[in-house]
Amino acid sequence: MRRLNKKKALNFVKELDAFPKVPESYVETTASGGTVSVLAFTAMALLAFFEFFVYRDTWMKYEYEVDKDFTSKLRINIDITVAMRCQFVGADVLDLAETMVASDGLQYEPVVFELSPQQRLWHRTLLLIQNHLREEHSLQDVLFKNVMKGAPTALPPREDDPIHPLNACRIHGYLYVNKVAGNFHITVGKAIPHPRGHAHLAALVSHETYNFSHRIDHLSFGEEIPGILNPLDGTEKVSADRNQIYTHTHNTKIQEFESIFRVINHAAGSHGVSGIFMKYDISSLMVKVTEQHMPLWQFLVRLCGIIGGIFSTTGMLHSLVGFCIDVICCRFKLGVYKPKSMSVFDGHVNSLTPLLSENAEH
């Protein structure tokens, strides 16, 4: 009886404890629990590692705004090589208001039209990228952030001394034009001002020197931004005809430039002025491009979500798998079933403990 009273006292003391106790099965070490813990911590480490790279990454945000500053000038950046000597060609801009724009910002540099092996490799790479950009426009963000960022899109300098004579002219620089439609053109003879517009001194140039085969290394509008590839960058047009006219026009329906080539033959009814013409129009909308970065607080919230989500999910999956295994074992009677013995409490004993009575003691 003393032993029975002692166990009853211990059970009574345990019931007086107000703090809940963790079941022994929760702190029991098992092989399955250890495996789940290792997998959970591995997943947490991998996802946190990848999330750090997402935090370091940036993305481009494009916003459309109305251009309210209609009084300022628009800059045109130009880098074009023409297969004619510099003294025979002239470049200028004539806008919709018949205003001739001064070309003081343009430089004329005698060069060789044929590219060196290194320059030709760069040019082919540029054309390949342009072809991919026409199919997948989102590649421009990748180029801006990785490949071309911080480097100009112009051809690299020539690595060898040219063996051919300087038979071409590189026209590069910038122009400031009015925000109205116009055309930038390169034609025979230097441009001179005229009361009714402008004119070129083409009469002093022989037709035998005409050759408007050209290569557009760079043509952009606005401030020059490294890493941005423009639609006409890398365009090369070569023709054996001497009297030809090239027209590059922006098609607003497909949002691309169309290049039109035509040979001038007055006898056949094909009239015009030999040269290179680039027609443009100005939109009232402007695109604001900003580079954005994930804030630190958002990174910390996402990191806590990853850790807490994996911890909770693995716990639920482990409990569910254990429950399913118990159900299957009981359903198909896998293993030997052993009844659990009941502890002595309030005078009750299990079926395996003999009951002592006063008659038995006597």
Hey, how many other C-beta atoms are within 10 angstroms of the C-beta on 229? 20
Of 29, 3, 21, nearest to 343 by C-alpha is 3
Examine the pLDDT at 268 and tell me if it is beyond 50.
Answer: yes
Higher pLDDT, 314 or 353: 314
Q: What is the reported pLDDT for 293?
A: 84
Confidence band for 225, pLDDT divided at 50, 70 and 90? confident
Examine the pLDDT at 45 and tell me if it is beyond 80.
Answer: yes
Q: How confident is the prediction for the chain on average, in pLDDT?
A: 77
Contact 83, 216 (CB under 8 A): no
Q: Cα(290)–Cα(94) distance, rounded to whole angstroms?
A: 33
Highest mean pLDDT among 13-27, 77-91, 255-269: 77-91
Among the ranges given (189-193, 274-278, 337-341), the one the predictor scored with the smallest mean pLDDT: 337-341
Q: What is the reported pLDDT for 53?
A: 87
Q: Provide the percentage of residues in the chain whose pLDDT is more than 70.
A: 72
Among the ranges given (10-24, 48-62, 97-111, 163-177), the one the predictor scored with the smallest mean pLDDT: 10-24
Examine the pLDDT at 180 and tell me if it is beyond 50.
Answer: yes
Q: Provide the percentage of residues in the chain whose pLDDT is more than 90.
A: 10
Highest mean pLDDT among 64-68, 96-100, 324-328: 64-68
| Stated pTM of the model | 0.65
Confidence band for 26, pLDDT divided at 50, 70 and 90? low
Q: Is 27 exposed, middle or buried (0-12, 13-18, 19+ CB in 10 A)?
A: exposed
Q: Cα(128)–Cα(159) distance, rounded to whole angstroms?
A: 22
Per-residue pLDDT of 272-330, as tens digits, reads 788 899 888 888 888 787 878 888 999 999 999 988 888 888 888 878 877 787 777 77
Higher pLDDT, 325 or 120: 120
Among the ranges given (37-46, 292-301, 331-340, 341-350), the one the predictor scored with the smallest mean pLDDT: 341-350
Confidence band for 36, pLDDT divided at 50, 70 and 90? confident
For the chain, domain boundaries: 29-61+301-331, 68-283
